[in-house]
Amino acid sequence: MSCVIFTGGGTGGHIFPGIAVAEVFKKETGIPIIWIGSNNGTDRSYVCSADIPFYGIPAGKLRRYFSLENLIDVFKIIGGFFASLIILLRLKPRFVFSKGGFVSVPPCAAARCLKIPVITHECDFSPGLATKINTRFAAHIFVSYTKTASFFPNAVQRKITVTGNPVRMRFYEANADAGKAFIQYTGDKPILFIQGGSLGALQINVLVEQTILFLAESFFVVHQTGAQHRAQGERIKKRLQEERPDLSGRYKPFPFIVEQMPDVLAAADLVMSRAGANTIWEAAAAGKPMLLLPLEKGSSRGDQIENADFFTEQGAAITLSGKDTTPDVLCSVLTRLLENPHELKAMAQASAALADEKPAVKIAHLLQQWITEE
């Protein structure tokens, strides 16, 4: 039996949606899935934790600005292309499915050279550079939002299908009681789940540190700090223990939550986070209202602002950006939501409606159309 190739990486936001599709696809078809990702970083650990065989290749970053590192990365990209070529010649997959990120470009280019169909998915509101490049090799393009199609040239419009952004099916079937047991929830305060994506978010962590007394008085706070910011969570916890020991039990810091994430989200009453596509679509699958603090354009290409604007326009979120990301504004917005539970309920309903079609299932079914009889 032949296999299919999935590719993508760089952050969990490019990997976990692909894993979501892979789980459904493999369950329904039984066809083996192989993942091509970066031989550096966390790609391998994320993919292997989902029991998917992994091939690592050299990965050079695609930058929109001049940097001397671009010269080095050109050779990494070329190396990644030839490594992908060898893998594809050996495995002879039926198709290559890309979830984006700079590491996905060499496998997609190699697949095109070998006349292997390429299908790519863009999770953000506007396509990233990797997707724009992969589009040149793609037989079909999946996008998460209807308006995203307008960012692509007219020549490829017929290839585009709107699917939503896939999340693992566990987010639709999660157990709130299991989530509460994991975070050791006690008391009767609403649960505020704060996260900054797989890498954490320093700005959000600083805001938590500045407002922790208010937060712990008003909520049971679950704080995913990011592995590289573990010490910050421990420092916040220590401060509470010293200044308000009666509140220290209401603050639970975690470096990163993986397996228990669906259950923790199910237990949450409100999610405060960045606006990366994976983060917000997982919260939507759980039907949770969101308070979003997107990365500003100076720190990203602006995709998080677009994602946050969309979810806010749909009534599923409130966005704080720029001058609004202050302790006073944060406390004011959270106080308003606490005093208006009907607003939180309406946001939760709007959130759930956005992910109701289960994009992972939709994409897995569309991919099955590319399976040909041997």
| Residue 370 DSSP one-character state | G
Please give the Cα distance from 89 to 114 (Å, whole number). 8
- Write down the residue that tokens 């006073």 correspond to: 328
Q: In 3D, which of 106, 135, 90 has the Cα closest to residue 36?
A: 106
Structural domains of the chain, with CATH:
4-167+357-370 (3.40.50.2000), 170-354 (3.40.50.2000)
Q: Amino acid letter at 98? A: S
Residue 373: what pLDDT? Answer: 44
Q: In 3D, which of 132, 96, 91 has the Cα closest to residue 117?
A: 96
pLDDT per residue rounded down to tens, the chain (374 residues): 589 999 999 877 889 999 999 999 999 999 999 999 999 878 999 999 999 999 999 987 755 555 666 667 788 889 999 999 999 999 999 999 999 899 999 999 999 999 999 999 999 999 988 999 999 999 999 999 999 999 999 999 999 999 999 999 999 999 999 999 999 999 999 999 999 765 568 889 999 999 999 999 999 999 999 888 889 999 999 999 999 999 999 999 999 898 899 999 999 999 999 998 899 999 999 999 999 999 887 656 778 999 999 999 999 999 998 888 999 999 999 999 999 999 999 999 999 999 888 999 999 999 999 985 44
Q: Where are the alpha helices (DSSP H) in 139-276?
A: 176-183, 202-218, 230-243, 261-267
For the record, the structure tokens of 131 come out as 């997707």
- What's the pTM? 0.87
